[in-house]
Amino acid sequence: MIDQWDKTIHDRKFDNPAGESQEIEHSIILTIIGGNEIDFGKHFLLEKKKILMGRDEANDISIHDEKISKFHCEISIVKNKQGIEQIFIKDVHSTNGTYVNGDLAEQTTLHAGDKIQIGDTVLSLSYNDELEKEYHAKLFNYAVRDTHTGLYNKRFILNELENISRIAKRSGRAFSIIIIDIDDFKQINDLHGHLAGDEYLKAIALLFVQSLREQDIAGRIGGEEFLIILPETTIDGAFQLAIRIRMNVENLVLNYHNHQIKTTISAGVCQYENSIKNITELLDIADQALYETKRSGKNKVMQALLAFNK
């Protein structure tokens, strides 16, 4: 949901000391350098000859900025007769316009270093080789990943939840969330030390990732608490997934310094509905279901609706 790794190769030739002509490969990249701080550093590799950019999920590049039109602008990559790539940007009747280097642009040529502004979002165009691409990817991951587990951090995943809830409110698409808490995690730290606790967090995070689809999003939102967002998923599907994760965790054994460490999880599941005012209320409902599992004995999964109908 975050990176679009479509790849376009930009070939350039240079003469090496031996006089031979060699080709080096460069990728055309758009990087978000201004706007929503959560999106800062997000980058998109351009592969298609035409790339549509806007707020709607149907775009090749979708940016969650309320000031961006659903279908805002189009980027075209064209080779001239000499085989040199030229890049053009065209506004597609957006509400707030498309700006290049501060100037309103109906249609114009783009060059490396140009700044494109749509809504409150500013993107920079660049040609990057593989090392530069990897560098930007690492910078972005450092900003959005939890250092202990490698899952998304709280700031990023709550922003994603906000974005997905806005899309669901407009489109009527279903999505669900799971809040997971590790049962008796303090005992692991007390008995085996905090380093053992860190290793267990890594192991359980890997288990979560292995259980999810590509479009699902998992993050750490507290010391031993996790949030999983499941786009296009009803509560029944989310409930079944949460049960599978609970069973997998129950069977998980971490071997650490000749000790076998294991515990269980409790989980609360909730589906987003239009009657829910905001993500705070959504999280509160799922958290209440989680509380009910803890109160009734742990190592359980409970749907929010079941919790409130008792």
Q: What whole-number distance in Å separates Cα of residue 54 and Cα of residue 63?
A: 6
Alpha carbon distance 293, 300 (integer Å): 6
Tallying the residues shown for the chain, one arrives at 310
Is the pLDDT at 4 greater than 90, yes or no? no
With tokens 């409130």, the residue in question is 308
The C-alpha atoms of residue 60 and residue 25 are separated, in whole angstroms, by 23
- Residue 217's pLDDT is what? 93
Q: For the chain, first and last CA: distance in Å? A: 36
pLDDT of 310 above 50? no
pLDDT per residue as tens digits for the range 190-229 = 999 999 999 999 999 999 999 999 899 999 999 999 999 9
Q: 218: how many CB neighbours lie within 10 A of its CB?
A: 22
pLDDT at 84: 72
Q: Pull the structure tokens for residue 156.
A: 């990023």
DSSP state of 151: S
The confidence band for 47, taking pLDDT boundaries of 50, 70 and 90, is confident
Cα of 28 vs its chain's centroid, Å? 21
CA distances for 11 relative to 44, 47, 76, angstroms:
18, 13, 17
What is the helix (H) or strand (E) element at residue 12, kind and residue range?
Answer: strand 9-15
Query: In degrees to the nearest 10, what's the CA dihedral of 14, 17, 22, 28?
Result: -40
User: In whole angstroms, what is the distance from residue 144 CA to residue 198 CA?
Assistant: 19
- Contact assessment for residue 112 and residue 118, using Cβ atoms and an 8 Å cutoff: no
Summarize pLDDT for 256-291 with one digit per residue, the tens: 999 999 999 999 999 999 889 899 999 999 999 999
**pLDDT above 90 coverage of the chain, percent:** 60
> If pLDDT is split at 50, 70 and 90, which confidence band does 132 have?
low
Identify whether 224 is a catalytic site residue: yes
Comparison of pLDDT for 152 and 131, the residue scoring more = 152
* Mean pLDDT taken over the chain: 85
Three-state SS for 288?
helix
The residue whose two tokens read 């500013």 is: 122
Comparing 47 with 284, the larger pLDDT belongs to 284
Nearest CA among 254, 258, 249 for reference residue 299:
249
SS (H, E, C) 84-126: CEEEEEEECCCCCCEEECCEECCEEEECCCCEEEECCEEEEEE
Q: What is the pLDDT of residue 5?
A: 29
Q: What's the confidence (pLDDT) of residue 51? A: 94
Cα 51 to Cα 230: distance, rounded to the nearest angstrom: 27
Give the residue-averaged pLDDT of 226-243: 95
Q: What is the pTM of this model?
A: 0.66
Task: Give 96-129 pLDDT, tens digit per residue.
Answer: 999 999 999 999 999 989 999 999 999 999 887 6
Q: How far apart are CA 158 and CA 219, in angstroms?
A: 9
Catalytic residue of the set 74, 160, 199, 224: 224
Least confident among 14-28, 108-122, 244-258, 281-295: 14-28
Q: What is the pLDDT of residue 201?
A: 95
Task: State the maximum Cα–Cα separation within the chain, in Å, rounded to a whole number.
Answer: 80
- Strand, helix or coil at 279? helix
- At residue 69 the predicted structure's pLDDT band, cuts being 50, 70 and 90, is very high
Angle 97-103-105 from CA coordinates, rounded to 5°? 50
Among 279, 242, 281, 248, which residue's Cα sits nearest to residue 262? 248
Question: pLDDT confidence of 177, banded at 50, 70, 90?
Answer: very high
Distance, in Å, from the CA atom of 245 to the CA atom of 204, rounded to the nearest integer, reads: 10
